[in-house]
């Protein structure tokens, strides 16, 4: 085989490789977890303070699942007189699967959510609430089976 054909084959493989990469890159979705990330970044000192308050409890939000329900356990010391609360389950791979709830616990700090609201896979759980004028924030990754 002549060197001309070898050069042409190398260029053809290179061109096919580049076109394949363009096709793969075009099919990717680049969704962000937060829409207004800049506004939230400006208010991040409040999140830092709320995380520090959560660490002061020496406890965290516990999420467990069964066949029919998802149990969210708020630390009892911070579950009294809850106001201004949000409980978010953010799906990094598909924003349309995000779930947002208000924290409404019973006397033991337990909130039960229906399992049918969630599909199998990874979520990022964010819980933020105010109890007795103290803000709390907890965030963790959860994988539902």
Question: What is the average pLDDT across 9-14?
Answer: 94
Tell me how crowded residue 22 is: count the other CB atoms within 10 A of its CB: 10
The number of helix segments (H) and strand segments (E) in the chain equals 3, 7
Looking at the structure, tell me whether residues 41 and 4 fall in a common domain. Answer: no
pLDDT digits 0-9 by tens, 37-90: 777 777 778 888 888 888 888 778 888 888 888 888 888 877 788 888 888 998
Rounded CA separation 7/4 (Å):
5
| Domain carrying residue 23 | 1-30
Looking at the structure, tell me whether residues 4 and 62 fall in a common domain. Answer: no
Q: Is the dihedral of CA 31, 37, 33, 100 positive or negative?
A: negative
pTM for this model (two decimals): 0.68
Determine the pLDDT at residue 8: 92
Looking at the structure, tell me whether residues 86 and 131 fall in a common domain. Answer: yes
Determine contact, residues 47/90, Cβ cutoff 8 Å.
no
pLDDT-based confidence at 33, cuts 50/70/90?
Answer: low
60: domain CATH number? 2.60.40.10
DSSP, collapsed to helix, strand or coil, labels residue 24 as helix
What is the tally of structural domains in the chain?
A: 2
Looking at the structure, tell me whether residues 22 and 56 fall in a common domain. Answer: no
């Amino acid at each position: 085989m002549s060197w001309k054909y070898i050069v042409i084959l190398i260029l053809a493989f290179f061109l096919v490789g580049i076109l394949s990469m363009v096709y793969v890159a075009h099919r990717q979705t680049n969704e962000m977890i937060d829409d207004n990330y800049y506004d939230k970044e400006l208010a991040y000192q409040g999140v830092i303070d709320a995380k520090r308050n959560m660490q002061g409890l020496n406890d965290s939000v516990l999420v467990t699942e069964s066949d029919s329900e998802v149990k969210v356990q708020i630390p009892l010391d911070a579950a009294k007189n809850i106001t201004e609360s949000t409980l978010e389950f953010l799906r990094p791979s598909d924003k349309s699967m995000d779930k947002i709830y208000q924290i409404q616990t019973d006397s033991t700090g337990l909130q039960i959510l229906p399992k049918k609201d969630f599909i199998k896979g990874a979520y990022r759980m964010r819980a933020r609430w105010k109890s007795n004028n103290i803000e709390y924030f907890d965030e963790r990754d959860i994988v539902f089976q």
